[in-house]
Amino acid sequence: MSETRSYGRWTDRRQQGSLSHRNLHLDWPLLLGLVVLSGISLVVLYSSGGENMDLIWRQCIRLGIAFGVMVFFAQIPPHHIERWTPWIYGAGLAMLAAVLIFGAIGKGAQRWLDLGLFRFQPSEIMKLAVPMMISWYLAENPLPPSRKALAIAALIIFVPAGLIVKQPDLGTALLIAMAGIFALLLSGVSWRLVGGFSVLGAAAAPLLWFFGMHDYQRQRVLTFLNPESDPLGAGYHIIQSKIAIGSGGLYGKGWLNGTQSQLEFLPERSTDFIFAVFAEEFGFFGVLVLLTIYLAVIARCLYIAVQAQDTFTRLLAGSLALTFFVYLVVNIGMVSGMLPVVGLPLPMISYGGTSMVTLMAAFGILMSIHTHRKLLTGG
């Protein structure tokens, strides 16, 4: 990599005198989608949390922090983000290693780094740092990437993913790997190569099963394949959540009237399984509306990516958009029994703080990309 790499300069590209110019570097269509999703989140949480206003206030505080983080990231011009990328990635790697070496044990797995004041999950950083680093690296080389570039890109993805698997947190590791792979796909890797690696990956799956997984992870996969085999243990989640969704029907049982969730049959109903509460109470049509909002958000993000002015921002925006999409699909797939339970929140809706802050930081970066103009200085 050349040390004399130029990151260019970006300035404001919002129209003078427009509404957005007088305010912050925000993308209003995207912001609208996020605000609507947050609103839905509060409505569903009120029901799933047993009409507990404390829960709602706490989620409001988290939303406030998350939107604050988004606004903050939106102010950073892309050339700064690009310049810091290798450092952020390096720091993230170092912290992952630190977690493995002296990570505090949280929830039986070593994922947290205790910084005295607060505990911190380095894998959260990697959710952003891996797509950033891949985009950074690929942007330096002509696209589509050469074989050598692909090999290095693979390292960039799989070193942190491997460290996270060791924690052990297979779900997050897979998602982070996906984010990197999306950047590669968007960069124009030939379809023949993509096909070849897919076949290779399928062949490697048995190896992963026998050598790469913990017992509890194997159990989750088995339970997914046949939830009825363990109705009081791990299969309980899936069975109950399918009952919740299915009994919702076309129109749903109505807000605050979902028996599955109100009578506490449904576990984790405010966090990972909140989609089941939504589907039970608002029914098929409600789900259609929700999916449409998500689709609009993803479409806007991809539009921002296509409109981006250089390779780094383009790849970054694209892979962040697709990462968001993957979170959505994996969560709903898991709750509706299409995918194994991996313990992943429904983006923007589930109760919880950490992953939402990461997500909003990503949206902040997208807004920054869309509201800054790259100066053509020959770089």
Partner 1 sequence: MSPRIAIKDHIRESQLFTSRAIVAFIGVILALLAIVGRMVYLQIISHEHYTTLSQNNRVSIQPLAPTRGLIFDRNGVILAQNLPTYALEIVPERVKDLDKTIAELGKIIAITPADIERFHDRLKDKRRFQPVALRHRLSDEEVARLAVNRYRFPGIDIAARLMRDYPQANLAVHAVGYVGRINEKELQQIDPSNYAATTHIGKLGIEKAYEDLLHGTVGFQRVETNALGRTLRVLDRTPPVPGKNIVLTLDAELQRTAKQAMGDKRGAVVAIDPRNGDVLVMASLGDYDPNLFVNGIDHKTYNALQHSHAKPLFNRAMLGQYPPGSTIKPFIGLAGLVSDTITPKTQIFCRGWHTLKGDDHKYRDWKTTGHGMTNLKKAITESCDVFYYDLAQTMGIDLIHDLLAPFGFGAKTGIDIAGEASGILPSTAWKRRARGKPWYLGETLIAGIGQGYTLTTPLQLARATAIMGSRGHVVTPHLFDHAGLADSQQLDYQAPVAARDLDNIDPADWDEIINDMKNVVYGLHGTARRINHGQPYKIAGKTGTAQVFGIEQEEKYVAKDVAKRLRDHALFIAFAPVDDPKIAVAVVVENGGHGGSIAAPIAAAVIDQYLGDKP
Residues that bind partner 1 (CB under 8 A): 2, 4, 6, 50-52, 140-144, 182, 185-188, 240, 242-250, 259-260, 262-265, 279, 283-284, 287-288, 291, 294-295, 298-299, 302, 305-306, 310-311, 314-315, 318, 322, 325, 329, 332-333, 336-338, 379
Is the Cβ of residue 168 or residue 286 nearer to partner 1 in the bound state?
286
Alpha-carbon 199 to chain mean position: 26
Is the Cβ of residue 126 or residue 287 nearer to partner 1 in the bound state?
287
**What is the smallest separation between the CB atom of 226 and partner 1, expressed in angstroms?**
17
**What is the smallest separation between the CB atom of 294 and partner 1, expressed in angstroms?**
8
Nearest to 42 by CA among 52, 33, 32: 52
Is the Cβ of residue 176 or residue 322 nearer to partner 1 in the bound state?
322
List residues bridging with 361 in a β-sheet. Answer: none
**What is the smallest separation between the CB atom of 314 and partner 1, expressed in angstroms?**
5
* 222 and 209 Cβ atoms separated by less than 8 Å: no
**What is the smallest separation between the CB atom of 146 and partner 1, expressed in angstroms?**
10
**Whole-angstrom distance, CA of residue 233 vs CA of residue 226:** 12
**What is the smallest separation between the CB atom of 85 and partner 1, expressed in angstroms?**
18
Is the Cβ of residue 72 or residue 303 nearer to partner 1 in the bound state?
303
Counting Cβ atoms within 10 Å, is residue 122 exposed (0-12), middle (13-18) or buried (19+)?
buried
Nearest to 242 by CA among 159, 335, 172: 335
3-state DSSP assignment of residue 104: strand
* 71 and 35 Cβ atoms separated by less than 8 Å: no
For the chain, first and last CA: distance in Å? 16
**What is the smallest separation between the CB atom of 247 and partner 1, expressed in angstroms?**
4
Is the Cβ of residue 168 or residue 248 nearer to partner 1 in the bound state?
248
Helix (H) or strand (E) holding 213: none
For residue 154, what are the CA distances in angstroms to 64, 181, 186, 196? 36, 8, 15, 15
List residues bridging with 248 in a β-sheet. Answer: none
Is the Cβ of residue 273 or residue 325 nearer to partner 1 in the bound state?
325
CA torsion through residues 235, 324, 18, 71, sign = positive
**What is the smallest separation between the CB atom of 75 and partner 1, expressed in angstroms?**
26
**What is the smallest separation between the CB atom of 298 and partner 1, expressed in angstroms?**
6
> Which residues 6+ apart lie within 8 Å of 205 measured at CB?
none
In this structure, what DSSP letter does residue 227 have? Answer: G
**What is the smallest separation between the CB atom of 5 and partner 1, expressed in angstroms?**
8
Is the Cβ of residue 123 or residue 261 nearer to partner 1 in the bound state?
261
Is the Cβ of residue 24 or residue 256 nearer to partner 1 in the bound state?
256
The residue written with tokens 């409001």 in the block is 60
**Whole-angstrom distance, CA of residue 232 vs CA of residue 242:** 15
Alpha-carbon 200 to chain mean position: 25
Is the Cβ of residue 20 or residue 247 nearer to partner 1 in the bound state?
247
**How many CA atoms, within 13 angstroms, populate the side-chain half-sphere of residue 144?**
11
**What is the smallest separation between the CB atom of 162 and partner 1, expressed in angstroms?**
26
* 261 and 280 Cβ atoms separated by less than 8 Å: yes
Is the Cβ of residue 164 or residue 334 nearer to partner 1 in the bound state?
334
**Whole-angstrom distance, CA of residue 270 vs CA of residue 154:** 36
Nearest to 90 by CA among 79, 80, 98: 98
